[in-house]
Structure 1
């Protein structure tokens, strides 16, 4: 890479070409995932939207095609709450390689009761963390086949104030939805940093990067009907919040940079520039509780046991 390209500032509206590359965005039919998929589609890459809802996925594909002439996008049926289905989903990608997967899909519940996945796991932990843990295992051969594959895990600002209870990862004793959600995102972020340590240990060319959208509100998000719509009143009421947070289109910027920027390195955390809540993407210090190797090792072992996957993952 030339010195000029190294010094050129990252432009969120002028992304580098990624032609002939293949990206998978889980939960790419809505929210941050949709805007990450839309932005990645402008690079010329093939963008696969992983979604368990074909109708919503079709709407997202149509929206992207209407805004990105010649967009190469398609749908992959993907249900992260159904662990036995994930190997079939990975196989049905039918690609020779995968240049990046964006672990974005997630469930956020606001009220009890505690719900479970098809496999009997608490729904938020089971979908947000365990589903992506197992999916990474089945995508390992495709990511290893790429010249420089990446796993980009989308965390949350909510994880900063949480701590994992390794004796009650699935909130069986004390279920509080908002706390359980924050802990599920913390588990994802711990996974992303631990994955990179393990990739480095085996000399893999695959990188694992963590990104988060900061504060991203629907009311500040540009409409993408029928994927997302906001009324004029909702947009007006959201304007005061724009001093501190942003829309989901801007929330996708750190994720997209983590996928595309050749200067991004494994084990890094990327988020919005202003207080970690809004603005253009920048690298952030990794909070100590997200990078504790002892906690991460126990979480990794629990993930292998709960998903029934090989803890070595098979990266090369």
Structure 2
């Protein structure tokens, strides 16, 4: 795949007068996405479950960019009522982009969201589906929705439509995580198809961070402090991993590169693990339209949150 025109995260296109919402912005990769957008002049709505983490994240960003335009948005993606309340506070806000980044890694046992869904799928995928359906009226013409995928999405060969909530079989945390990331990726591409079919100028893309380690991540007090021992422990993995600052680059490129287009997948250049962001070829399953149709139908029924303005392509 072509890497598209050269793009430099250290010299982002100016984002002045643009507003982006980033979920999971209180820590990790989401924090660095917000930091990089703010440094380019964007107004950033930092969304996360814990208000204290959001406060600390805004402090850290302002230590590097004192003039940063930031807003805190507490929201729990595992609770539809929380999502609805959070979106209600954004009335009058016009978004130029939404980054669906927040997520849970594998869990040791099956847990449920407040709405009764399996927790990892419910947070990573269903929560963002509901959030997107409610945010849609606030998106400006030409805006972008970017969904955070994962290399792990490539390791799943099907979606188990007979057991999407992981109740019929013994719970396998990593299997559920992989499924949730595949569902997110399929959603991103299906959303773009539906946007095209509706004549909308809004686009939907996917990105993934590659291998991201805390030990390779530069300190950003009070959000993150890297100890020398953490760095030494992580160094042996550095040939195929990077810090969470660099892991944010594919998402930031998908949001801000003028050459990026709907339906694309961006990831790190080297072995899909580290380096500057480039275009990737999605798997056949990620682009399978019948699987996408079934997933969309199942999701609308599970959440009760239809994207009612979008026709099936």
What TM-score do you get using the length of structure 1 for normalisation? 0.94
SS in 1 for 2:10: coil
Deviates more, 1:220-229 or 1:127-136: 220-229
Equivalent residue, structure 2, for 1:50: 47
Q: Is the 2:141–2:200 Cα contact (8 Å) retained in structure 1?
A: no
Q: Is the 2:48–2:76 Cα contact (8 Å) retained in structure 1?
A: yes
Equivalent residue, structure 2, for 1:290: 286
Q: Deviations over 1:238-259 (max 9, x none)?
A: 1121111111100000000000
Q: Is the 1:220–1:247 Cα contact (8 Å) retained in structure 2?
A: yes
Q: Deviations over 1:94-132 (max 9, x none)?
A: 3441100000011123412x1000001000001110000
Equivalent residue, structure 2, for 1:250: 246
Please show how residues 154-165 of structure 1 align to structure 2 within 5 Å: 154-162=148-156, 163-165=158-160
Partners of 1:311 and 1:206 lie apart in 2 by 14
Partners of 2:28 and 2:99 lie apart in 1 by 13
What TM-score do you get using the length of structure 2 for normalisation? 0.95
Equivalent residue, structure 1, for 2:163: 168
Q: CA deviation at 1:178?
A: 0.9
Equivalent residue, structure 2, for 1:90: 87
Equivalent residue, structure 2, for 1:241: 237
Please show how residues 59-74 of structure 1 align to structure 2 within 5 Å: 59-74=56-71
Equivalent residue, structure 2, for 1:4: none
Partners of 1:285 and 1:222 lie apart in 2 by 30
Q: CA deviation at 1:8?
A: 5.9
SS in 2 for 1:194: helix
Please show how residues 85-234 of structure 1 align to structure 2 within 5 Å: 85-112=82-109, 114-143=110-139, 146-162=140-156, 163-174=158-169, 175-234=171-230
SS in 2 for 1:257: helix
- Label 1:8 to 1:308 Cα distance change in 2 as closer, same or farther (>3 A): closer
Partners of 2:138 and 2:100 lie apart in 1 by 15
Q: Is the 2:5–2:259 Cα contact (8 Å) retained in structure 1?
A: no
Partners of 2:233 and 2:85 lie apart in 1 by 44
Q: Is the 2:107–2:120 Cα contact (8 Å) retained in structure 1?
A: no
Q: CA deviation at 1:313?
A: 4.5
Q: Which runs of 5+ in 1 are unaligned?
A: 1-6
Q: Which 4+ stretches in 1 moved above 6 angstroms? A: none
Partners of 1:8 and 1:196 lie apart in 2 by 22
Q: CA deviation at 1:229?
A: 2.2
Q: CA deviation at 1:91?
A: 2.3
Q: Is the 1:301–1:311 Cα contact (8 Å) retained in structure 2?
A: no
Q: Which runs of 5+ in 2 are unaligned?
A: none
Q: Is the 1:155–1:188 Cα contact (8 Å) retained in structure 2?
A: yes
Please show how residues 31-42 of structure 1 align to structure 2 within 5 Å: 31-42=28-39
Q: CA RMSD in A?
A: 1.4
Q: CA deviation at 1:314?
A: 5.5
Partners of 1:155 and 1:8 lie apart in 2 by 22
Equivalent residue, structure 2, for 1:3: none
Q: Is the 2:18–2:42 Cα contact (8 Å) retained in structure 1?
A: yes
Partners of 1:8 and 1:309 lie apart in 2 by 38
